[in-house]
Structure 1
């Protein structure tokens, strides 16, 4: 037999010629087709020859034959890929991989001109972090994508799940329990996070009013020196700050220390996400810990149910949220 070049794909027909059996027999063995009367010896010869020749299945052909691409497309919001989002994606990818599915992520950008990835990828399931709008829903239908999470009749995406919005309430409650009755919200100035920042700020305001504490409003931390803002808060009597995330919390704590304030006696600050920064920062940051890994696994499980035609649970996914107490409060 002529020596193969590195670029030549080994086919089932090549294996059939080597073993001396039909192409159909090789196909039955490689696909583990049930109900076939193929001897164990022949099956072993086919598999051994496939390994020796370096056979790799043609995924496109398999997808055409089975009607499945075994690809799950996750459509992500245009947010920074922070610690929580990475944990979410890592756990979802791991679970899907164990089930024999590949995960592909796609982030549409406002004003972008590229075609939606589902129009060319042919995924088995499309998963959105937020609900799909009318235009995207129409594009999904036109592309033949029928398995979508959340479905068109599910109006709320993952970012509205109770556990994902419970953080500000935990932050406020913790500060009030520590004796702080004048609170402010430190917001991220990243415009990509505008909706989530607004949502957390509103939840913090509501929790503050429910607790009987005084609300001093929300201010943006833009990555520069927030020293003037921290001094103004101190002059207004603010003693507790609810931070959008741990990065913002670290910026506030650093500014407070540079301004000569004691943390937490003069200003207590609580972050959100419990990223690795929270525990190594000095002083260590109190923070809200969300089990976003569990969220990723749960959503991947729902995607697998959808892909394999099993009944899929709807509604919110339960995600554990807890307040981790450290030096900053």
Structure 2
């Protein structure tokens, strides 16, 4: 059985038309008037043969591809990551662009190499790129869309700092004067955890409170209990915990429950992300929710504006982040 990939010539023979007609139909060429019956015959032939246009060929023909490469760092993917990627994919697809996600893991090709292989239209990164990657993309002439800069409202550091501030401001508004910050154990999460911690610290400083007490929460249940026990012993003045995210908040709640600590009577807890399970914890978790769909729409608009040479509209943080107060605070 042959495994040869079907070509446009095969489609042309199957449909009884020229290769040019196949190209016009499959690339939806503007200005070309193809009879509906001919178009249907070509599409049916392509489907029967399993033919798909070559991305490289389309890039050569058009001078550019429709691919936008989303650069993701080597960090553990949380529950929001697939929802965000799905929303970005749909938002860009509505503009005729195709999203490809690149995770910067050790075995993956470097970003400039992959960009060259795919003839990408642009690269989007929510984090500042390394200098080798940034210079490599500049040499290729591939634009890097400014989604990782503080000025566009979508930068991870700026949003993370705002999340920490919102957590602390909510707790301070509830009368808490002794705050702690629960950090994740994985050091790769520092690009998210550090600015959130800083946001909590800034809110405490503005409220004339002591700096938040940091403590690390291991991923295993027994380790979480040990971390919470140590916090209560070492910082008895703490009455509320700002957790790195909802999963870390769940671990803190587990530790408090195992130690028989009343929530929120003795210790209040607030998370970040607003994952669906946060409404089902015991008690239901207060959180700073992230709207991945809103973030994706703004990112897509910023990408289209940049590719068109137009300024991107500012992104109001309150369209992406919102407080969800529940029983833990």
Task: Check if 1:103 corresponds to 2:102.
Answer: no
8 Å contact kept, 1:131–1:150 = no
Paired residues for 1:83-162 under 5 Å? 83-109=79-105, 114-116=109-111, 117-145=114-142, 147-150=143-146, 158-161=155-158
SS of corresponding position for 1:236: coil
1:145-188 CA distance string (max 9 Å, x none):
1x211289988872133x44222222112212222111111111
For the pair 1:214 / 2:210, whether they are aligned, the reply is: yes
User: How does the TM-score come out when normalised to structure 2?
Assistant: 0.84
The residue that corresponds to 1:69 in the other structure is: 65
- Name which one, 1 or 2, has greater alpha-carbon Rg: 1
Check whether the contact 2:12–2:22 (CA below 8 A) recurs between aligned residues.
yes
Q: How far, CA to CA, are the matches of 2:149 and 2:290 in structure 1?
A: 27
In 1, Cα distance between equivalents of 2:263 and 2:34 = 75
The Cα offsets for residues 94-114 of structure 1, whole Å up to 9 and x where unpaired, read as 2223444322111224x7784
8 Å CA contact retained: 1:278, 1:286:
yes
Inter-CA distance 317–74: structure 2 relative to 1 (3 Å threshold):
farther
- Say whether the 8 Å CA contact 1:298–1:317 is kept in structure 2: no
> Is the deviation greater in 61-70 or in 41-50?
41-50
Equivalent pairs counted in the alignment come to 320
* Shift in alpha-carbon separation, 1:296–1:179, aligned structure 2, 3 A: same
The residue that corresponds to 1:190 in the other structure is: 186
Q: Secondary structure at the match of 2:310?
A: coil
Could you tell me how far 1:288 is from its partner in structure 2? 0.7
Gaps of 5+ in 2: none
Question: What does 1:173-252 correspond to in 2, within 5 Å?
Answer: 173-223=169-219, 224=223, 225=225, 226-232=227-233, 236-252=236-252
Q: Which has the higher contact order (CA 8 A, sep 6+)?
A: 1
Structure 2 partner of 1:23: 19
Q: What SS is found at the alignment partner of 2:211?
A: strand
Is this contact kept in 2: 1:11–1:55, CA < 8 A? Answer: yes
Deviation at 1:230, TM superposition (A): 3.6
> For each residue in 1:105-132, what CA deviation from the matched residue of structure 2 results, as whole angstroms up to 9, or x when unmatched?
11224x7784333243321110011122
Counterparts of 1:309-324 in structure 2 under 5 Å?
Answer: 309=308, 311-313=310-312, 318=317, 319-324=319-324
Comparing 95-104 and 174-183, the one that deviates more: 95-104
Secondary structure of 2:77 counterpart: coil
In the alignment, is the contact (CA less than 8 A) between 1:176 and 1:213 conserved in 2?
A: no
Find the aligned partners of 2:192 and 2:32 in 1 and give their Cα distance: 56
TM-score under structure 1 normalisation? 0.84
CA distance in 2, matches of 1:114, 1:50: 32
Structure 1 portions without partners, runs of 5+: none
Please say if residues 164 and 199 of structure 2, whose CA atoms lie closer than 8 Å, have aligned partners that are also in contact.
yes
CA RMSD between the two structures: 3.0
